[in-house]
Amino acid sequence: MLAFMAGMTAMGFATAALFFLRFWREGRDRFFLLFSLSFWVEGCNRIALALSPRPNEGTATIYLVRLAAFLLILLAILDKNGIFKNKR
């Protein structure tokens, strides 16, 4: 049952990633590309969790991958707000 739910969650992440990828293709805004990449990372994380012999969400590896995905979202938001632009 856990593998099925992890697969469904991975499918949801992949669907969201495809939507953001489509928005990126239309506007070439880096914000959407980073969001798409973040959702792909989360989807792959769920697939790896479902395929592991003893799935445990409490392992450090799962949290580090999840942290990377959330840092991508944070980077996208900061980049969109102009934090990384030179103010001369």
- Answer whether residue 87 shows pLDDT above 70: no
Is-contact 41 69, C-beta < 8 A?
A: yes
For the whole model, what pTM was predicted? 0.88
- % helix / strand / coil in the chain, to the nearest 5? 80, 0, 20
Q: Hey, is 56 helix, strand or coil?
A: coil
Q: What would the two tokens of residue 68 be? A: 């990377």
DSSP structure class, residue 68: H
Give the pLDDT confidence of 30-77 residue by residue, as tens digits. Answer: 999 999 999 999 999 999 988 988 878 788 888 999 999 999 999 999
Q: What DSSP element (H or E) covers 66?
A: helix 60-80
48/36 Cα distance (integer angstroms): 18
